[in-house]
Amino acid sequence: MKQRVLLLAAIMASLPAFAQQFENEAIPDLPLRNIPPLGEPAPPPPGWRVTLGGGLAYVPRYEGSASDRLRFMPLLDATHGRLFISSTRGIGYNLSHSPDMEYGVRLAPSHARWQNADPRLNGMGDIGYSFEIGAFLNMRFAPWYISSGFNTGVHGTHADLGGGLGFPVSDADRLRFGVGTSWANATYNRTYFGVSPGQSMASGDVLTPYSASAGIQDYALTANWAHNYSRQWFSSAGASYKWLVGSAANSPLTQRRAALSANFLVGYRF
């Protein structure tokens, strides 16, 4: 157990060095708790349960970008009882004792954006990583599920709501299909879709000043296929189609309102 804790701490400490090289957006519809190992009994074993892995994500260069790129996507998910540490979910605590409901609090990384990711961002400056305080509520009414989250930080406040259908198609395979939407306040939308007069001048007046307002930011359709190779090894292939609406869609930074993203990763449990 001590070795697992030390390994986990070393990985978490090394992540900032690779901050600009990986995709930290949540994997569409991939709650690891719903991909049980082959033959695992219902009660999980005591102590730390760790999943490590990684893969590739084909995603827009930034939300609203006209082009895409291939990014490395790390996978780190560790649980000890109801405590969790994750590269996508952050650090948090599940207050529920029910296997079909999760609710609690978390400290999660915000979404970063780098000016050099796309020529369209010239003059916008970097949006670095920070931490957001949030809460979550997930419920399952097999085969249906609902997921929701609320996060707030220095970049603003945003909330997500989704739901869908998840079911096994064999002893080793599970499929999930879902829909989702995101809301953001004015501060959050101005951070990622607004253009200040100073940024407009820095862009060479390519971008006109724009003040984004609060509202629904996007809608999404998602799909995921998870396959267990053994009790330890599994893979996940996912895709999502997201379209921006409201202030996000009308921003001068938005060159493409709708985009398809895809990802594939391999994970190992121990």
Measured distance CA(236)–CA(175) in Å, rounded: 10
**25 bridge partner residues:** none
User: What's the mean pLDDT in 50-79?
Assistant: 92
Residue 43 is predicted with a pLDDT of: 56
Residue 87 is predicted with a pLDDT of: 83
User: What's the mean pLDDT in 118-124?
Assistant: 96
**CATH topology (fold) of 2-269:** Porin (2.40.160)
For residue range 103-115, list pLDDT tens digits in order. 999 999 898 999 9
**Whether the predicted pLDDT of 95 surpasses 80:** yes
Long-range contacts of range 170-175, CB-CB < 8 Å, 24 or more positions apart?
171/38, 171/228, 172/38, 172/227, 172/228, 172/229, 173/225, 173/226, 173/227, 173/228, 174/34, 174/35, 174/225, 174/226, 175/223, 175/224, 175/225
pLDDT band at 94 (very low <50, low <70, confident <90, very high): very high
Residue 68 is predicted with a pLDDT of: 95
Measured distance CA(130)–CA(115) in Å, rounded: 17
User: What's the mean pLDDT in 154-179?
Assistant: 93
Q: How many helices (H) and strands (E) does the chain have?
A: 4, 12
Higher pLDDT, 40 or 191: 191
Write down the domain spans for the chain. Answer: 2-269
Maximum Cα interatomic distance, the chain, rounded to a whole number of Å: 61
DSSP H or E stretch at residue 250: helix 246-250
**Whether the predicted pLDDT of 18 surpasses 50:** no
On whether the CB atoms of residues 85 and 91 are closer than 8 A, the answer is: yes
